[in-house]
Structure 1
């Protein structure tokens, strides 16, 4: 008979939005920031860049883990970039850069790519993929751009925008999974887990009426 082990997920990211997405889906991960220097990876393809960075982040955290025999440990690394007008746009360098981007992006469209790398530390296996969503930006005014940049939000995110924060009203519509734009696609995570013979329901946590996490709902078999 195979041994039943509790499942632990480690998020290799400092992104509050990714953590919030996991928690909203019933998953309470541990968080370890990778410290990867994103400027070290150079490529002309947005999909390759975000996947390589996701891979590096997951691997950087992996080297700092000491998996115990009493649990099965997974690490998820993610990275997002915006492909726009033939360029790859990560986080803006400063407020002036964010303003220049929005002056170009308003009324137009780009594709947000999010790379995902999921490593099963215990089993020594890996699954990875890129999720892509087309984003149609609103034709916002100069004053709206100035106010948004002054808020500081665009400086902290790839592409200089969000859909789940102050930037939401400035996105007319998207084509694809909104989680991809936020930075972590839950449908893709489910598929990656399946590649590793796991279920996303194994990561759910049981919540008491008062909102306190009590125990994992599901276990997995090693």
Structure 2
């Protein structure tokens, strides 16, 4: 085991309360896999913020600012104890099982950059189609932030992951099916590399697929152990 995985295994063994602040099914899928791998529970909260109200020229600064804004929006909900459980028991059950060592909130955001242009979620079907079609012309980059807030100390630790996706030409009828299904409308740049219709057209990913999906496992582990002071 690497130093990071050893520290993370020690961290989750202390039975912390981990809250994932996202509405993304892809991020929850990745977190479910990590939770199964390391035998821990987590909860889910959705941050309701106006993402369009937060702007930065730098994609890196933008995704970090959005992750911090989501954390700020969720603090009152956590204080009030309104989180809902996802693939986890509730906090009271964990206290009976052996107590908690604090609450750790994970928030994140992602944008796609293509030919120097920043892309967020498609505004409409036409834009989604245009986005997806363009990725065969030149590679797209995903820029994603992962932020962990230690609710006990108030400290925050962050990281940013950059991945590059190389794709072959996707036929219009396949793009039409993707857009019609609707899931790509909730993805930055309309980019959904894990979708069964997209996979055959992925030539290469520089980085991890999980990071492209919005939540790299190593990024999650690193910010959690850093926020825990380990």
Give the TM bin, normalised by the shorter chain.
Answer: 0.7 to 0.9
Question: Given that residues 22 and 28 in structure 1 are in contact (C-alpha distance below 8 angstroms), is that contact kept between their aligned partners in structure 2?
Answer: no
Tell me, yes or no, if structure 1 residue 171 matches structure 2 residue 202: yes
- Partner of residue 94, structure 1: 124
SS at match of 1:35: coil
Tell me, yes or no, if structure 1 residue 157 matches structure 2 residue 187: yes
- Distance in 1 (CA, whole Å) between partners of 2:15 and 2:56 is 38
SS at match of 1:6: coil
Q: Which runs of 5+ in 1 are unaligned?
A: 200-222
Shift of 1:53: 0.6
Structure ranking higher in helix proportion: 2
Instruction: Find the partner of 2:162 among 113, 118, 132.
Output: 132
- Partner of residue 33, structure 1: 46
TM-score norm. by structure 2 comes to 0.78
- Partner of residue 61, structure 2: 48
SS at match of 1:22: helix
- Partner of residue 80, structure 1: 110
Shift of 1:30: 0.8
Shift of 1:198: 5.5
- Partner of residue 213, structure 1: none
Shift of 1:195: 1.8
- Partner of residue 145, structure 1: 175
Q: Which runs of 5+ in 2 are unaligned?
A: 1-12, 82-90
Question: Given that residues 108 and 138 in structure 1 are in contact (C-alpha distance below 8 angstroms), is that contact kept between their aligned partners in structure 2?
Answer: no
TM-score norm. by structure 1 comes to 0.81
Alignment RMSD (CA, Å): 2.1
- Partner of residue 61, structure 1: 74
Instruction: Find the partner of 2:148 among 118, 124, 134.
Output: 118
- Distance in 2 (CA, whole Å) between partners of 1:28 and 1:35 is 23
- Distance in 2 (CA, whole Å) between partners of 1:168 and 1:51 is 29
- Distance in 1 (CA, whole Å) between partners of 2:159 and 2:108 is 10
- Distance in 1 (CA, whole Å) between partners of 2:71 and 2:201 is 32
Residue correspondences, number: 196
